[in-house]
Amino acid sequence: MDSLRKMQPVKRIALVAHDNKKADLLDWVTYNKTVLASHKLIATGTTGTLLEKILHVPVKKLMSGPLGGDQQLGAMIAEGKLDIILFFWDPMMAQAHDSDVKALLRIAVAWNIVIACNRSTADFVLTSLLMEEEHAISIPDYSGYLNRMKE
Ligand SMILES: O=C(CO)COP(=O)(O)O
C-alpha cells in the first residue's frame, strides 16, 4: 500500500536548465521571483549561480549537472529531500550526460515527485493552490520489489 509524505507550505524546489534553456528559465524566474523567494531553492551548479544573481536569495548549489549535479538531485529525490523539480531540459540537443538526465527524470517519476519540464507546466505548478498549503503526496509502494528475493 502506498504511504504518504507531507509537503510543507514552504516547498523544496529544484531548478535546472540546460544551456539552451537557461535564458528561458531565467526569464521565467524573474517573472516569478517573489513566489520563488518564499520557498527553499536548490539548483545544479551553473543554473544556481545564474539564479542567485537574479533572485538575491540563497540557492543551495549542487555540482554542475554534467559533473554529478543531476545525480545529486536524483539522490535527494530518493531520500525524500525534494518536493518539486522544474527542469527546463533541451529537447533539441543531445547532452554529454544524457544518461544522467534520463536517470533524473526516471527517479522523479518513480518517487511521484512534482516535475515540470517546460515553462507552461512550471506556470501551472507555481500557481497551484497547493503551493501555499501543507499537502500529502503518496509514496509508491515498492515492497513487492524489495521483498522479491525473500520467499
Ligand atoms: O546539465 C544540467 C542538467 O542536466 C544543468 O547543469 P548546470 O546548471 O550546471 O548547467
Q: Which residues pair with 40 in a beta bridge?
A: 12
Binding residues for substrate: 18, 22, 44-47, 64-65, 97
Q: For 34-81, what is each residue's pLDDT tens digit?
A: 999 999 999 999 999 999 999 999 999 999 999 999 999 999 999 999
- Residues belonging to the active site: 70
Q: Is the distance from the beta carbon of residue 71 to the nearest atom of ligand 1 less than 6 Å?
A: no
pLDDT at 2: 84
The CB of 65 under 6 Å from ligand 1? The reply is yes
**What is the whole-number distance in angstroms between the Cα of residue 3 and the centre of ligand 1?**
32
The C-alpha cell at 38 is 518564499
Domains of the chain and any CATH numbers = 8-146 (3.40.50.1380)
The residue whose CA has the least distance to atom 4 of ligand 1 is 65
How high is the pLDDT of residue 1? 83
Angle between helices 119-126 and 22-31 (to 10 degrees): 30
Task: Using CB atoms within 10 Å of the CB of residue 121, give its burial: 0 to 12 exposed, 13 to 18 middle, 19+ buried.
Answer: middle
- Which residues line the annotated binding site? 18, 22, 44-47, 64-65, 97
